[in-house]
Amino acid sequence: MKKFAIGASLMALVAVPALAWQASPQGGPRGFDQPETRAQVEASVKDHFAKMDLNKDGAVTEAEIRQGRDARMKARADERFAALDSDKNGQISRAEFDAGHDKAREMRGDRGPGGHGGKGKHGMRGHRGGGDFGGRMFATADANKDGKVTLAEASTARLQWFDKVDINKDGTITPEERKAAFASFREERKAVRN
């Protein structure tokens, strides 16, 4: 599971940030249904790299990825605890727990378990990644195999993906090009599994 989480963090840096909605320079969401330019990709990699490079030495290691992931998980857990602890006494009573559970159910509406239309046992958490997904993803970006990914390595890996998806080579990935790339990726993965 840890390797998958490391891979997911690194994937956000070097592979497919379209999977995660990002803020566009215009202030609206930029995701799967929006065009993405090469300049936007370069800026996104640089920004994400700066956040992942915890010790600011110009390289990201697997340890930094784990440390950042752990810090984000702790912050989310602290936020959830604070939201449930309505009387702010540092403890969650049964009544506070039940109220939080009811509120979560209300927010999910009829989307089912995990808030994703009932798909999967645990929503997105039910997604299974490859056994050594994190290691492979890190190794792919770590071009010189020194156990670190520099901004140059991360940018190169991400821009190689961009160039592959930018079929007409106009410097912009359209939603149609992105959908075609994901369809191709799914077919490749299906072929590998069979």
Given CA atoms 115, 116, 122, 127 in this order, what sign does their dihedral have? Answer: negative
Which alpha helices (H) appear in the chain, and where do they start and end? Answer: 2-14, 38-52, 62-84, 94-108, 133-141, 151-165, 175-193
pLDDT at 111: 57
Give ∠ CA 11-14-15 in degrees, rounded to 5: 60
pLDDT of residue 107: 85
Cα-atom radius of gyration of the chain, to the nearest Å? 19
pTM for the structure as a whole: 0.60
* The pLDDT value given to residue 95: 93
Q: What is the pLDDT of residue 123?
A: 39
Amino acid of residue 59: A
In this predicted structure, what is the pLDDT of residue 15? Answer: 44
194 residues of the chain, pLDDT tens digit each: 444 444 444 444 444 333 332 333 333 334 668 899 999 999 999 999 999 999 999 999 999 988 989 999 999 999 999 999 999 999 999 999 999 888 888 888 755 555 444 444 433 333 333 333 346 778 888 899 999 999 999 999 889 989 999 999 999 999 999 999 889 989 988 888 87
